[in-house]
Chains A and B, each alone.
Chain A
């Protein structure tokens, strides 16, 4: 059991030797206890719980940081609101007004944690994204697995500020942190038969209560054509707003393809499979006439339910109105050539 302590205590005095040695396990337990505490706290007083959570997280972080020094290469530490260190800024999204952190983390489509947009933030509190292993299979030199720690070290992490357009007609601007998917693919060593990449999310009814409802064919599956996956714009995101991905945003790792509708961004990915034939995604199965494989943002191709020619930017309030939706969500320059000659009305 974790007893709440003042952060100014010296770690060596309070951490038992065994726990001290087994640092990773300690972090997990601390994180779990903390999350449980926050969950319990939220029931009584949300405001108080929020203060407690940030306070203790910092405390735990400091504790771990000191225990770990003076190591030269600092392995990433994991936990709620854990800051990511050493990522570089990029020019993407310059001039865009960021969607508030509060909105990005409380308005989510993540059916594994419930079908209402406010549910993922609540129902994902006990989700454990660390430790995490991703398996690589299919048309590759050889099947292998990689831990989330190693994915962090695979390539320098970058901040990419991207617009995100949901098929439901709303959009956000999110400062993701991640690595180009191309780097991960290079490491995975696909063979020449690999024409498509399939992303498979976690299936775990215990941790993902929304999966008890057969609204989608679990596990959540998404896919990209190889050239789309290799496009420099495509990233595997591990964080946002300078910290590790909150659970409700797809921790520990999710796909981000800003020129496609948001549902392409598979969350909590456990498996990456290289295949020869075009994979069938969960949403394609759920509504073949509504959700296509490509799902490129396209104001000229109507959806049976939602207007695609314009969108509501989250955070504008009641009177902000709509903005025009751009072809490929405004990323034509980077991705347009991949679809040259294709009938995008048919390949929606």
Chain B
């Protein structure tokens, strides 16, 4: 049954895996609804929802960024087919995060929101990450991918910057106990490290080939 771990999954299996991932990605939202209905969102429910949606957006973002390193390390590529869905789920939780902030936290008081963004680097960085993720969500369709071609790839490299901004946004939120943001920063560095390592060794190989050829 778990043959796809050894061999690449079939098309049918991919559909099943996608379905499972989809449902799993909805669990954080269902949990919030469940806790909300039970009036169990702590003494400060708005903060709770902000923290929770922010955390899951970051978690899913990091999950999205592990797919390529897995390919680089194992040579398997089928998991890349999960990337768009995960990316869009990240955007979904980011949207919930922003809605909570704009609606529940600031009750659409745009003046206060503008001031909050302008005066607090933490908010500014988070807001920038959100703005940068909008074009990625908008160009996530197959047709956009075809239309933009090479530029699509370049555009979607913004995700690296978004990940860094998201972690900085979290880092500046905590007062003194930086253990949690530090953990995510380390994970991100490992993921980046794997990419950079493979990129570097690949170019090294190419270079050596060139040298051999030129000899």
Contact = CB atoms under 8 A, between A and B. Distances in A.
Contact of B46 (A115, A215, A216, A312): A312
A319 B119 contact: no
Interface stretch (A103-111, A143-151, A174-182, A219-227): A103-111
A310 interface: yes
Interface stretch (A155-163, A273-281, A298-306, A327-335): A298-306
B120 A319 contact: no
A215 B42 CA distance: 24
A315 interface: yes
A317 interface: yes
Nearest to A115: B177
Contact of A309 (B36, B43, B112, B175): B112
Contacts of B174: 115
A56 interface: no
B43 to A, nearest CB: 4
A2 interface: no
Nearest to B41: A318
Q: Interface residues of A toward B: which range?
A: 20 to 34
A215 B173 CA distance: 15
Given A106-B43, A115-B177, A216-B176, A318 B120 contact: no
Which of B47, B112, B172 is the most central at the interface, judged by chain A CB atoms within 10 Å of its CB? Answer: B47
Contacts of B106: 321-322
A215 B176 contact: yes
Interface in A264-282: none
A106 B36 CA distance: 18
Contact of A314 (B43, B49, B107, B120): B43
B44 A314 contact: yes
Interface string A193-217: 0000000000000000000010110
A310 to B, nearest CB: 7
B76 interface: no
A107 B45 contact: no
Interface of B: 36, 41-47, 49, 104-107, 109, 112, 115-116, 119-122, 172-177
Contact of A317 (B45, B47, B172): B45
A307 B116 contact: yes
A229 B69 CA distance: 59
Contacts of A216: 176
Contact of A304 (B109, B112, B121): B121
A213 B112 contact: no
Contacts of A107: 42-44
A170 B104 contact: no
Given A111-B176, A216-B176, A302-B119, A318 B49 contact: yes
A115 B112 contact: no
A135 interface: no
Contacts of B175: 115, 286-287, 305
B43 A305 contact: no
A118 interface: yes
Given A306-B120, A312-B44, A318 B36 contact: yes
Nearest to B113: A307
Which of B46, B107, B116, B172 is the most central at the interface, judged by chain A CB atoms within 10 Å of its CB? Answer: B46
A315 B46 CA distance: 11
Nearest to B174: A115
Nearest to B106: A322
A111 B106 CA distance: 28
Contacts of A286: 175-176
A213 B174 CA distance: 15
A331 B41 CA distance: 31
Nearest to A103: B43
B46 A213 contact: no
A321 B119 contact: no
Contacts of A115: 174-177
A43 B208 CA distance: 63
A220 to B, nearest CB: 12
A325 to B, nearest CB: 12
Nearest to B116: A307
Contacts of A213: 177
Contact of A310 (B47, B112, B122, B176): B112
Which of B43, B49, B106 is the most central at the interface, judged by chain A CB atoms within 10 Å of its CB? Answer: B43
B176 A170 contact: no
A322 B105 contact: yes
Contacts of B44: 107, 117, 170, 312, 314
B173 A318 contact: no
A131 B52 CA distance: 41
B96 to A, nearest CB: 13
A118 B43 CA distance: 9
Given A305-B122, A305-B173, A306-B120, A318 B112 contact: no
Given A107-B44, A314-B43, A322 B36 contact: no
